[in-house]
């Protein structure tokens, strides 16, 4: 968790990733959406490229222009962004309801995140999830 937070544990990072998941690729589009200073966005995007979350890809040759595309590693942060969105909707959304909903690309159905137990196969409520040091499970399952 600590190492993951070194990469994504800064408010702008997950907001940039959120915008990218919504289809944003160009510097000026991130800038307009996020309303943060140009130099801060440059720094952030540079760091995210360096850490393998985005790749910088030319989209025009003359003059040379680049866009920012999520790598597979970056796109996989949807597994963190959606649970964060759900948590916010549950506790912070207020009367207006959630601004966006998660959807299954194939069938258009509403998608929710949940925990599943690989041993008993059942969905596991958040209140029944704990962690233990790897290889030292109290039940000896690892």
How far is Cα 88 from Cα 16, in angstroms, rounded to an integer?
17
- Is residue 58 a contact residue for a second copy (CB under 8 A)? no
Contact assessment for residue 13 and residue 80, using Cβ atoms and an 8 Å cutoff: no
Query: Within positions 60 to 89, which residues make up the interface with a second copy, using CB under 8 A?
Result: 73, 75-88
Q: Given the complex with a second copy, which of 45 and 85 has the nearer CB atom? A: 85
- What's the half-sphere exposure (Cβ side, CA atoms, 13 Å) at 80? 16
Contact in structure between 45 and 54 (CB atoms under 8 Å): yes
35 contributes a contact to a second copy by CB under 8 A: no
Cis peptide before 63 (omega within 30 of 0): yes
Residues in region 94-123 near a second copy by CB under 8 A = 97-120, 122-123
Q: In this structure, are residues 68 and 25 in contact, taking their beta carbons and an 8 Å threshold? A: yes
Rounded Cα gap, residues 115 and 113, in angstroms: 7
Select 51 or 66, whichever has its Cβ closest to a second copy: 51
Least distance to a second copy, CB of residue 72, Å = 9
**Residue 32 interacts with a second copy (CB under 8 A): yes or no:** no
| Candidate residues 38, 52, 56, 57; the one interacting with a second copy per rule CB under 8 A | 52
Q: Which of 8, 41, 45, 70 binds a second copy (CB under 8 A)?
A: 8
């Amino acid at each position: 968790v600590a190492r993951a937070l070194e990469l994504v544990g800064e408010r702008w990072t997950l907001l940039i990733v959120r915008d990218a998941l919504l289809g944003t690729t160009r510097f000026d589009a991130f800038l307009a959406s996020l309303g943060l200073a140009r130099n801060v966005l440059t720094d952030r995007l540079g760091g995210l490229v360096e850490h393998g979350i985005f790749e910088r890809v030319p989209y025009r040759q003359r003059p040379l222009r680049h866009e920012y595309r999520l790598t597979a590693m970056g796109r996989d942060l949807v597994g963190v962004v959606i649970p964060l969105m759900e948590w916010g909707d549950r506790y912070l959304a207020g009367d207006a309801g959630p601004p966006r909903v998660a959807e299954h690309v194939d069938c258009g159905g509403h998608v929710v995140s949940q925990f599943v137990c690989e041993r008993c196969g059942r969905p596991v409520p958040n209140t029944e999830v704990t962690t233990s040091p790897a290889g030292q499970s109290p039940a000896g399952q690892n």
